[in-house]
A and B are shown apart, each in its own frame.
Chain A
Amino acid sequence: MKLVAILLDGLNYSAWLFLVAVGLTLIYGVMRILNIAHGAFYAIGAYVCASALGLYYSAGLPEAGAFLMMGLSALVAGFVVGLLIERVVLRKLYGQDEVIMVLVTYALFLILSDAVKLTWGVESYYVFQPYAYFGYIEFGNLPYQVYDLLVVGLAIVAGIGLWYWLNRTRTGILMTAVVADREVAAAMGVNVTRIFALTFAIGTVLAAVAGAATAPKIAVTPGIGVEVIILAFAVVVIGGLGSIPGAVVGAIFAGYARAICVHVAPQFELFAIYAVMAVVLAIRPHGLFARAEGRKI
Chain B
Amino acid sequence: MTLKTVLAGTASLCLIAGAVQAQDQEPITLGIPVFLSGAASGPFGLPQRNAAEVIIAELNAGNLPAPYDTKGINGRMVEANYVDEAADAVQEYRNMAEREGVDAVVGYTSSGNCKAVAPLAEELQQLTVLVDCGTPQIFESVVTDPTYLFRTGPTGTIDSVGAARYLVDTGVDMSEVAGINQNYAWGQDAWADFTGSLIALDTGSDIATEQFPQVFAGQYGAEISALLTSGAKAIHTSFWGGDLEAFILQAAPRGLFARSAVVMTTGEAAMQRLPNEIPEGAIIGARGPYSYFAPESELATWFRDAYEKAHGQPPSYPAWKMAQALLGLKSAWEKAGSDDPAAIAKAFENLEYETPAGTVRMAIGNGHQAVQGIAYGTYKQDADGNPGVENVIAYAAECVNPPNDTTAAAWIEAGFPGASCN
Direct A/B contact, Cβ within 8 angstroms? yes
Q: How far apart are the CA atoms of A52 and B144 in the complex, in Å? A: 53
- Among A24-32, A139-147, A157-165, A232-240, the stretch in contact with B: A139-147
Taking A217-B249, A217-B250, A266-B210 as contacts, is the C-beta distance between A143 and B255 under 8 angstroms?
yes
Q: Verify B245–A126 contact, CB threshold 8 A.
A: yes
Q: How far apart are the CA atoms of A224 and B216 in the complex, in Å? A: 7
> Which chain B residues in 360-394 approach chain A with CB under 8 Å?
none
Q: Verify B218–A124 contact, CB threshold 8 A.
A: no
In the bound complex, residues from chain A placing their C-beta under 8 Å from that of B42 are 122-124, 219, 221-222
Choice from A121, A126, A128, A263 contacting B222 with Cβ under 8 Å: A263
Task: Indicate if B183 sits at the interface (CB-CB under 8 A).
Answer: yes
Choice from B217, B226, B245, B277 contacting A266 with Cβ under 8 Å: B226
Task: Indicate if A226 sits at the interface (CB-CB under 8 A).
Answer: yes
Taking A224-B242, A269-B183 as contacts, is the C-beta distance between A148 and B218 under 8 angstroms?
no
B282 to chain A, nearest CB (A): 16
Task: Indicate if A253 sits at the interface (CB-CB under 8 A).
Answer: no
Task: Indicate if B214 sits at the interface (CB-CB under 8 A).
Answer: yes
Task: Indicate if B337 sits at the interface (CB-CB under 8 A).
Answer: no
Task: Indicate if A73 sits at the interface (CB-CB under 8 A).
Answer: no
Q: How far apart are the CA atoms of A5 and B36 in the complex, in Å? A: 39
Q: Verify B253–A131 contact, CB threshold 8 A.
A: yes
In the bound complex, residues from chain B placing their C-beta under 8 Å from that of A224 are 39, 216, 218, 242
Q: How far apart are the CA atoms of A5 and B229 in the complex, in Å? A: 8
In the bound complex, residues from chain B placing their C-beta under 8 Å from that of A218 are 218, 242, 245-246, 249
Choice from B46, B218, B223, B226 contacting A122 with Cβ under 8 Å: B46
Q: Verify A9–B218 contact, CB threshold 8 A.
A: no
Q: Report, as a range, how many residues of chain A touch the other chain.
A: 35 or more
Q: Which residue of A lies closest to B213 (CB)?
A: A269
Interface core residue of B36, B37, B218, B226 (most chain A CB under 10 Å):
B218
Choice from B38, B229, B253, B273 contacting A145 with Cβ under 8 Å: B253
Q: Verify B273–A9 contact, CB threshold 8 A.
A: no
In the bound complex, residues from chain B placing their C-beta under 8 Å from that of A214 are 218-219
Q: How far apart are the CA atoms of A9 and B211 in the complex, in Å? A: 15
Task: Indicate if A13 sits at the interface (CB-CB under 8 A).
Answer: yes
A84 to chain B, nearest CB (A): 23
Q: Verify B46–A223 contact, CB threshold 8 A.
A: no
Task: Indicate if B254 sits at the interface (CB-CB under 8 A).
Answer: yes
Count of A-B contacts judged by CB separation below 8 Å? 138
> Which chain B residues in 238-287 approach chain A with CB under 8 Å?
241-242, 245-246, 249-250, 253-255, 273-274, 277
Taking A141-B229, A267-B212 as contacts, is the C-beta distance between A132 and B253 under 8 angstroms?
yes
In the bound complex, residues from chain B placing their C-beta under 8 Å from that of A131 are 249-250, 253
Task: Indicate if A114 sits at the interface (CB-CB under 8 A).
Answer: yes
In the bound complex, residues from chain B placing their C-beta under 8 Å from that of A145 are 250, 253-254
Task: Indicate if A117 sits at the interface (CB-CB under 8 A).
Answer: yes
Task: Indicate if A111 sits at the interface (CB-CB under 8 A).
Answer: no
Task: Indicate if B120 sits at the interface (CB-CB under 8 A).
Answer: no
Task: Indicate if A188 sits at the interface (CB-CB under 8 A).
Answer: no
Q: Which residue of A lies closest to B40 (CB)?
A: A223
Binding site for A on B (CB under 8 A): 36-39, 41-43, 45-46, 183, 209-214, 216-219, 221-223, 225-226, 228-229, 241-242, 245-246, 249-250, 253-255, 273-274, 277
The 6 residue pairs across chains A and B that have the minimum distance between CB atoms: A219-B245, A9-B222, A223-B39, A122-B41, A221-B242, A219-B242
Q: What are 16 A-B residue pairs whose CB atoms fall within 8 Å in the complex?
A: A9-B225, A12-B221, A113-B37, A122-B42, A124-B241, A124-B245, A131-B249, A136-B255, A141-B228, A142-B228, A145-B250, A218-B249, A222-B42, A223-B216, A227-B214, A269-B211
